[in-house]
């Protein structure tokens, strides 16, 4: 097994942000959840417009992890492509088919968590790939 080349959980989360955006993930948010839960430091939440796109985003994130030597703790939901959860220990990636995301409303559930301000070019890409109007400031 390769040793991870990623120094910390923020850097790891940003790696996954980039991988998701390469697959045109929409409505991407990165939440810093350390103050609210012990299960992870960051939640990455994003959407796809179809089950195939959701699966493609998940594959891109997984490939970025593999390339960087980051171990996956668990992955769930790949076969249906409606809600794929990839657990990397300190970073948990949630990739939703948009209607499913609206139903479960993780954004609302974790509304008190700090949204991470993304560096360029990620912040510009996030704004380009908006699917729904911003619900939380």
| Domain annotation covers residue 23 | yes
Residue 5 has a pLDDT of 46
Residue 117 has a pLDDT of 85
| Domain annotation covers residue 30 | yes
CATH number at residue 73: 3.30.460.10
| Domain annotation covers residue 136 | no
Residue 2 has a pLDDT of 40
| Domain annotation covers residue 127 | no
Q: Confidence band (pLDDT; 50, 70, 90) for 120?
A: confident
How many domains does the chain contain in total? Answer: 1
Range of the domain at 95: 9-117
Secondary structure (3-state) at 67:
helix
Please tell me the distance from the alpha carbon of residue 56 to that of residue 96, in angstroms, as a whole number: 12
| Domain annotation covers residue 17 | yes
| Token code pair at residue 132 | 């729904």
| Domain annotation covers residue 129 | no
| Domain annotation covers residue 28 | yes
| Domain annotation covers residue 130 | no
pLDDT (tens digit, 9 = 90+) per residue, 70-86? Answer: 999 999 999 888 999 99
pLDDT (tens digit, 9 = 90+) per residue, 41-73? Answer: 999 999 999 999 999 999 999 999 999 999 999
Strand partners, 114: 32
Please tell me the distance from the alpha carbon of residue 54 to that of residue 36, in angstroms, as a whole number: 27
């Amino acid at each position: 097994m390769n040793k991870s080349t990623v120094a910390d959980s923020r850097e790891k989360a940003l790696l996954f942000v980039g991988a998701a955006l390469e697959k045109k993930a929409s409505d991407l948010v990165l939440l810093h959840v350390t103050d609210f839960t012990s299960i992870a430091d960051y939640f990455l939440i994003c959407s796809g417009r179809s089950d195939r796109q959701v699966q493609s985003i998940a594959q891109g994130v997984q490939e970025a992890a593999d390339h960087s030597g980051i171990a996956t703790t668990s992955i769930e939901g790949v076969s249906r492509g409606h809600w794929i959860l990839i657990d990397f220990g300190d970073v948990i990636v949630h990739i939703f088919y948009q209607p499913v995301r609206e139903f479960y409303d993780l954004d609302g559930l974790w509304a008190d968590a700090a949204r991470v301000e993304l560096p360029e070019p990620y912040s510009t890409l996030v704004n380009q790939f908006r699917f729904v109007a911003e619900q939380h400031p």
